[in-house]
């Protein structure tokens, strides 16, 4: 069976989606605040590699940048930000449309569900990055949701 990664256009699709999402969040007055301190110059490439690995593609992200603990710690310690999370998900849905990935209803839904889940997962440790447990592995997402 085709992976979500393959259905979304493999690495090219992940890059287009990461670029479209990043453009959308930078245009959003609330979500762009998360990037006000600056961001890695290769943010979208790293994000595309992360999504690729999660969605059934190559493991290049974890080989080059680390495990899920490192990712979650990077997004932790920023307090509660429910409105920003809701708007980030809306930006993702718009990016799906921008890239043509929303044209397939099943693909659109599984990508939306993944991103909503991932957004909540990244917000689990609002107090401090030190609260994030070590040894977390990059999650895997299938057509049926989180792979346990």
Average pLDDT over residues 99-110: 98
- Contact indicator for 143, 1 with CB cutoff of 8 Å: yes
Concatenated DSSP letters for 14-33? HHHHHHHHHHHHHHSTTGGG
116-133 pLDDT, tens digit each: 999 888 787 668 777 778
Q: Between 49 and 129, whose confidence is greater?
A: 49
Check pLDDT > 80 for residue 147.
yes
In this structure, of 11-20, 55-64, 127-136, the range with the lowest mean pLDDT score is 127-136
Q: Are 20 and 101 in contact (CB under 8 A)?
A: no
The CATH architecture to which 4-146 belongs is Orthogonal Bundle (1.10)
Neighbours of 62 (CB within 10 A): 17
For the whole model, what pTM was predicted? Answer: 0.88
Tell which residue, 62, 76, 73, 54, has the closest CA to residue 126: 76
């Amino acid at each position: 069976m085709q992976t979500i990664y393959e259905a979304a256009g493999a690495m090219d699709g992940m890059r287009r989606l990461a670029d479209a999402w990043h453009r959308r969040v930078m245009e959003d007055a609330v979500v762009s605040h998360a990037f006000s301190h600056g961001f890695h110059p290769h943010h979208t490439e790293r994000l595309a590699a992360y999504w690729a690995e999660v969605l059934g593609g190559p493991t290049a992200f974890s080989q080059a940048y680390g495990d899920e603990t490192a990712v979650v710690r990077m997004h932790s310690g920023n307090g509660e930000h429910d409105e920003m999370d809701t708007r980030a998900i809306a930006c993702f849905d718009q990016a799906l449309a921008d890239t043509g990935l929303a044209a397939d209803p099943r693909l659109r839904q599984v990508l939306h569900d993944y991103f909503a889940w991932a957004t909540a997962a990244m917000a689990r440790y609002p107090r401090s990055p030190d609260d994030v447990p070590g040894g977390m592995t990059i999650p895997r997402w299938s057509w049926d949701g989180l792979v346990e």
